[in-house]
Amino acid sequence: MNISIIGSGYVGLVTGACFAELGNKVICVDNDEAKVALLKKGIIPIYEPGLSELIKNNVGKKRLIFSSSIKDAVKNSEVIFIAVGTPSLPHGEADLTGIENVAQNIALNMTGYRLIVEKSTVPVETGEWVKKTISTYVKRNIKFDVASNPEFLKEGSAINDFMHPDRIVIGVESNKARDLLVSLYKPLNAPIVVTNIKSAEIIKHSSNAFLATKISFINAISKICDKVGADVKEVAQGMGLDKRIGPSFLNAGAGYGGSCFPKDLDAFINISEKMGYDFNLLKAVKEINEDQREFIFQKIKKSLWIVKGKTVAVLGLSFKPNTDDIRSAPSIDIIKRLQEEGAKIHVYDPQSIEKAKAVLDKVHFCKDPYEACKGAECLLVITEWNEFKELDFIKVKKLLKRPLIVDGRNIYEPQKLEKIGFTYVGIGRGKS
């Protein structure tokens, strides 16, 4: 099939490269000409395992091209995916300016039937607006369909998530649109859920909101565990074996960050309010998540007594492992809070240091975890990168001024570390 993807950000690039890999001819479009020029040279502006190779391979086979012209893309593709950003406005509302712009541009350049698919995460009823916009701007009486096909890609495993999805959600209003999308996804052999457009839009927001709720739920439980001497890891294991609950997204810790959960929750709360429903549950989820950062700071303060003038070695900046993304990362807030209290910061992360340099001030960036530990009075783990799980703790103990570990992701076994002589503070491990 000839398809195009408008918006060559994270979602657009992964989607475009994967559709090309499945044998389609794909045009990835972006209005940032400098970005398109880099992509044409094979330089990929984001870090995602396997993406660069996939792009190179499909460009080589002439199934994937990059362009800054929506006109060419619309002319040459029957299916057009919109994958532009939908950032948060100050009150949490999703900014849909980019979507409207693209819809207008598609309408002005349509030469025959087109299927326009929302891929970006958008609030319910955006499909209606896209339809109205295209009807308003289209030159002649050209037929078109609008569909919603939300993405569920996780950063760090996006290609695998695309190729092996749990489900594909297709929100459509015509058989033609359904058949086009079903045949596009057929090679993946995954369950396809066909719904109306509004249901598909809500499936995306509610899936992310539900996952965020699971995280905040277990983080709330971690507070009770701390108070009574229970271990949240044992509690999560005991809960997760119930098939109705499931074991995933029950890791207590520094809480969620990234480009999706915080933004999507804000947008969902906002659109619900507009529809006349006060989504108190999600407001609490958000509050618990934000509070988790202060909770970790307070644990450090309680252990160190006086924070001012002490050095904290922070391991991990990215909002989760296997990505360089620091958007809404707990690390940034926790580091700033520690600095506010007068702490000195040593920090190491395998991927995110360059990005963090733009947002953190007066921080000593280190080349490995051991350099970070040197002379510090507390070792704080905020992101559970694999290399932090396998540290040489005898060496760490020698390097630290004081053998204190605050494990913000519960990656260590308390007894093992206590045996070596560390004071271990976890999240909901019943020790603090």
Q: Which stretch binds ligand UDX (CB under 6 A): 126-134, 244-252, 296-304, 417-425?
A: 244-252
How far is residue 123's CA from residue 393's CA, in Å, rounded to a whole number? 48
How far is residue 234's CA from residue 238's CA, in Å, rounded to a whole number? 6
Nearest to 73 by CA among 60, 62, 85, 64: 64
Which DSSP letter does residue 61 get?
T
Q: Which stretch binds ligand UDX (CB under 6 A): 61-69, 136-144, 243-251, 269-277?
A: 243-251
- Output 15 or 67, the one with its CB closest to ligand UDX: 15
CB of 362 to ligand UDX, least distance (A): 25
Q: Kindly report the number of other CB atoms within 10 A of residue 111's CB atom.
A: 12
| 253 in contact with ligand UDX (CB under 6 A) | yes
**Which listed residue (129, 249, 365, 370) binds ligand UDX by CB under 6 A?**
249
Record the tokens describing residue 117, joined without a space.
Answer: 């698919």
CB of 208 to ligand UDX, least distance (A): 6
How far is residue 127's CA from residue 146's CA, in Å, rounded to a whole number? 7
Between residue 119 and residue 158, which ones bind ligand UDX under the rule CB under 6 A?
151-155
Contact status, residue 5 vs residue 81, Cβ threshold 8 Å: yes
- Please give the order of strands across the beta sheet that includes 363-365: 363-365, 344-348, 311-315, 378-381, 404-407, 423-425
Q: Which amino acid is at 69?
A: S
Q: Which residues are known catalytic residues?
A: 260
Q: Binding string to ligand UDX for residues 166 to 205, with x set by CB under 6 A, is what?
A: ----------------------------------------
**Which listed residue (7, 171, 258, 426) binds ligand UDX by CB under 6 A?**
258
- Output 71 or 154, the one with its CB closest to ligand UDX: 154
| 66 in contact with ligand UDX (CB under 6 A) | no
- Output 258 or 350, the one with its CB closest to ligand UDX: 258
**Which listed residue (235, 250, 313, 360) binds ligand UDX by CB under 6 A?**
250
- Output 330 or 403, the one with its CB closest to ligand UDX: 330
Q: Kindly report the number of other CB atoms within 10 A of residue 362's CB atom.
A: 7
Record the tokens describing residue 146, joined without a space.
Answer: 């609008």
- Binding-site size for ligand UDX (CB under 6 A) equals 20
**Which listed residue (149, 251, 311, 410) binds ligand UDX by CB under 6 A?**
251
Own/partner contacts of 101-105, CB < 8 Å, gap of 24 or more, are 102/6, 102/7, 102/70, 103/129, 103/130, 103/133, 103/134, 103/137, 104/133, 104/137, 105/70, 105/71, 105/74
| 206 in contact with ligand UDX (CB under 6 A) | no
Contact status, residue 334 vs residue 382, Cβ threshold 8 Å: yes
| 256 in contact with ligand UDX (CB under 6 A) | yes
Q: Which residues bind ligand UDX (CB under 6 A)?
A: 151-155, 208, 211, 215, 249-251, 253, 255-258, 260-261, 319-320
